[in-house]
């Protein structure tokens, strides 16, 4: 990666510059990771919902019933 560091008057790094093509790749990867996190959070919430329903005796919709709705 071709990076350029910007420094203050004391030589401390305060910013970095990278080529736009590399930045675009980083943004694409970040978007994929955000989507993955969103999916995993949804699965986590579903697991909690199922556990709560089982404890309370609530009947949940089966996967077959869900798929048959469409």
Token pair in block for residue 67: 């798929």
Q: How confident is the model at residue 5 (pLDDT cuts 50, 70, 90)?
A: very high
What is the spatial distance between Cα 63 and Cα 66, in angstroms, rounded to a whole number? 5
Report yes or no: 40 and 32 within 8 Å, Cβ to Cβ.
no
Cβ-Cβ contacts under 8 Å for 60 (sequence gap 6 or more):
50, 53
Of the candidates 5, 8, 26, the one whose C-alpha atom is nearest the C-alpha of residue 16 is: 5
pLDDT at 69: 85
- Give pLDDT tens digits for 14-61: 999 999 999 999 999 999 999 999 999 999 999 999 999 999 988 888
H or E stretch at 24 = helix 20-56
């Amino acid at each position: 990666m071709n990076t350029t560091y910007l420094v203050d008057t004391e030589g401390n790094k305060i910013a970095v510059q990278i080529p736009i093509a590399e930045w675009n790749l980083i943004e694409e990867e970040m978007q994929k990771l955000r989507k993955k996190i969103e999916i995993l959070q949804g699965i986590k919430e579903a697991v909690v919902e199922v556990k709560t329903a089982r404890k309370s005796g609530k009947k949940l919709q089966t996967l077959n019933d869900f798929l048959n709705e469409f």
